[in-house]
């Protein structure tokens, strides 16, 4: 553990939402302090962090003070402005590294990277113009999803095309943002692998979880996922390949479509991932601690699963179910300390242990 942070060292976390909150708790278990940087007032992670800085991403004074107070910097979301990273990288190690962010911030770069590794993705085309979109539809099929290359999540910045006639409307919806067309993949279900890589290059994967989305937002993750033994191994090898290619340090979420022809990579997220929350109930070391271990230069923990778990997100008014859930046996509650519920707002999640 030559590079390992000693107890008492501090980890800076960019973003203070629920992921930062649970990362901060995990850091505390390892005797590490956390400093949250978030432009929003009263970030949820602030309730369990030693220090909170509320400042904009371009506030150089605040960024310098933040970096000066910590030993390593990580993040809970991938859309950190490039100039912010330029400054922070010059002051402290930022993990996962810049390349992982560059790849995952841009859907086109991401797809090029993944196919370059020999992995299968949905068919896709760069569509810088409406004419390019029309040509792409002619090539990869009349249906697909037009997505902005950058800054989309939870179904935002996306337009579904049911036929060539939708092209102009969908293109207009992008509002001039660079976009790519993704063809549809015929898949039976989606799984994700939460994979971790340490500073020495060791890789550890949690068991794949099976994801169910509603309206573009993750609803549940179930372990074990429905996967043939060969697919289970494929999923893990594929995740390891991605992490190694990026010289990645930290936890990554890798979303996969399960098809009769094999696994298709949907997208990667260079951070702890909503589909990995089940690890809090089913493993000795959860994804949050695994990420902290990695970025702190510790050895990775044992991610072996010892329980069957269904993770269910509490979205918007779902929080009204908490009093009933609190009475249920085998339900672990995780609330994020957010204010008023709004439609689509992730307020918490529960891990239901279905076989311990």
Residue positions in the annotated binding site for ATP? Answer: 107, 147, 152-158, 182-185, 190, 213, 266-267
Partners of 252 in the β-ladder: 195
x/- contact string, 307-346, with its own copies (CB under 8 A)? x-----------x--xx--xx-xxxxxxxxxxx-------
CA 172 – CA 159 distance, rounded (Å): 10
Of residues 115 and 332, the one with the C-beta less far from its own copies: 332
206 binds its own copies (CB under 8 A): no
Of residues 183 and 348, the one with the C-beta less far from its own copies: 348
Among residues 39, 47, 79, 173, which is the contact residue for its own copies, using CB under 8 A? Answer: 47
CA 53 – CA 40 distance, rounded (Å): 9
Partners of 257 in the β-ladder: 190, 264
CA 135 – CA 90 distance, rounded (Å): 43
Does residue 272 sit in helix, strand or coil? Answer: coil
278 binds its own copies (CB under 8 A): no
As a dihedral over the C-alpha atoms of residue 312, residue 316, residue 318, residue 319, rounded to 10 degrees, the angle is 100
285 binds its own copies (CB under 8 A): yes
33 binds its own copies (CB under 8 A): yes
For residue 311, the minimal CB distance to its own copies (Å) is 13
Which pair of tokens denotes residue 125? 């085309």
Cα 175 to Cα 82, 161, 180, 183: the distances in Å are: 22, 16, 13, 21
66 binds its own copies (CB under 8 A): no
353 binds its own copies (CB under 8 A): yes
CA 220 – CA 312 distance, rounded (Å): 4
x/- contact string, 2-21, with its own copies (CB under 8 A)? --x--xx------------x
93 binds its own copies (CB under 8 A): no
Residue 139 in contact with residue 125, Cβ under 8 Å? yes
299 binds its own copies (CB under 8 A): yes
Closest CA to 304 of 248, 236, 221, 216: 236
Q: Which residues are annotated as a binding site?
A: 107, 147, 152-158, 182-185, 190, 213, 266-267
End-to-end Cα separation, the chain, in angstroms: 33
302 binds its own copies (CB under 8 A): yes
Among residues 284, 317, 342, 354, which is the contact residue for its own copies, using CB under 8 A? Answer: 284
For residue 70, the minimal CB distance to its own copies (Å) is 13
354 binds its own copies (CB under 8 A): no
Cβ of 132: how many Cβ atoms within 10 Å? 16
Site of interaction with its own copies (CB under 8 A): 1, 4, 7-8, 21, 24-25, 28-34, 46-50, 281, 284-285, 293, 298-299, 301-302, 304, 306-307, 319, 322-323, 326-327, 329-339, 348, 353, 356
């Amino acid at each position: 553990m030559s590079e390992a942070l000693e107890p008492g060292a501090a980890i800076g976390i960019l973003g203070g939402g629920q992921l930062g909150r649970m990362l901060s708790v995990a850091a505390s278990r390892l005797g590490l302090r956390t400093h949250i940087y978030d432009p929003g007032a009263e970030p949820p992670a602030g309730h369990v962090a030693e220090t909170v800085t509320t400042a904009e991403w371009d506030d150089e004074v605040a960024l310098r003070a933040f970096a000066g107070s910590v030993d390593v910097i990580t993040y809970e979301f991938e859309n950190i402005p490039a100039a912010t990273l330029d400054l922070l990288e010059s002051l402290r190690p930022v993990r996962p590294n810049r390349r992982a962010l560059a790849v995952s911030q841009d859907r086109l770069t991401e797809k090029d990277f993944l196919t370059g590794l020999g992995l299968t993705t949905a068919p896709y085309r760069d569509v810088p113009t409406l004419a390019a979109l029309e040509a792409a539809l002619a090539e990869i099929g009349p249906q697909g999803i037009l997505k902005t290359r950058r800054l989309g999540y939870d179904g935002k910045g996306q337009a579904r095309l049911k036929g060539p006639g939708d092209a102009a409307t969908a293109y207009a919806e992008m509002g001039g943002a660079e976009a790519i067309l993704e063809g549809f993949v015929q898949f039976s279900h989606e799984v994700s692998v939460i994979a971790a890589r340490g500073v020495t290059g060791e890789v550890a994967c949690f068991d794949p979880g099976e994801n169910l989305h509603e309206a573009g937002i993750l609803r549940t993750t179930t372990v074990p996922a429905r996967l043939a033994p060969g697919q289970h191994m494929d999923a893990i090898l594929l995740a390891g390949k991605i992490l190694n290619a990026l010289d990645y340090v930290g936890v990554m979420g890798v979303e996969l479509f399960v098809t009769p022809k094999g696994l298709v990579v949907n997208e990667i997220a260079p951070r702890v991932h909503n589909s990995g929350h089940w690890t809090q109930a089913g493993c000795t070391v959860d994804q949050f601690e695994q990420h902290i271990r990695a970025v702190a230069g510790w050895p990775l923990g044992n991610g072996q699963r010892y329980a069957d778990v269904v993770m269910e997100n509490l979205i918007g008014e779902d929080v009204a179910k908490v009093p009933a859930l609190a009475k249920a046996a085998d339900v672990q509650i995780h609330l994020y300390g957010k204010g008023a519920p709004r439609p689509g707002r992730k307020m918490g999640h529960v891990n239901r242990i279905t076989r311990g």
